[in-house]
Amino acid sequence: MILLPELCPGNVEAKVDTGAYRTAIHCLSCREIDEGDRRILEAVFDLDGSGARTLYFDTFMQKQVKSSFGNSELRYCVRISIRINNRKVVSEVSLTDRGDMRYQVLIGRKTLNQRFLVDTSSRFLLGSPR
């Protein structure tokens, strides 16, 4: 279980994936909006079942991301705070529809790099799922 304080109030079940480069977070939808002389990203999340929340990001980028199936897609990426086991890290995450996946958050090695040691022989070290 992790906390994403900028995205939702509750705990979120996440999976560590050392094969993934970047962290991926489930996003119901996202789109760019013109706001005067600048563009902002509008993203809709529902990560903890408490209802959809719409958030706006001033700083964002688009990156080409290759899935484990070999498919490449252009995704929006933002920098957010992630709290893992009482450690706060700021990481670049990609936003994608993970609605059909078991875990709404996939923690990639860029977030873990030089901060955490992954014990592949254990499960749920940070708390059991709901």
Please give the single-letter amino acid code of residue 122.
Answer: S
Q: Assess contact for 81 and 89: CB atoms under 8 A.
A: yes
Per-residue pLDDT, averaged over 110-130, amounts to: 72
Q: Average pLDDT in the 44-53 region?
A: 88
Other C-beta atoms within 10 Å of 26: how many? 20
Please provide the CATH number assigned to the domain covering 2-112. 2.40.70.10
46: amino acid identity, one letter: D
How far apart are the C-alpha atoms of 30 and 98, rounded to whole Å?
13
Instruction: Please name the helix (run of DSSP H) or strand (run of DSSP E) that holds residue 112, with its range, or none.
Output: helix 109-112
Lowest mean pLDDT among 17-26, 44-53, 114-123: 114-123
Instruction: Give pLDDT tens digits for 79-108.
Output: 999 998 888 999 999 999 998 888 999 999
pLDDT value at position 122? 72
- Residues 120, 103: Cα–Cα separation, whole Å: 17
pLDDT exceeds cutoff 80 at 125: no
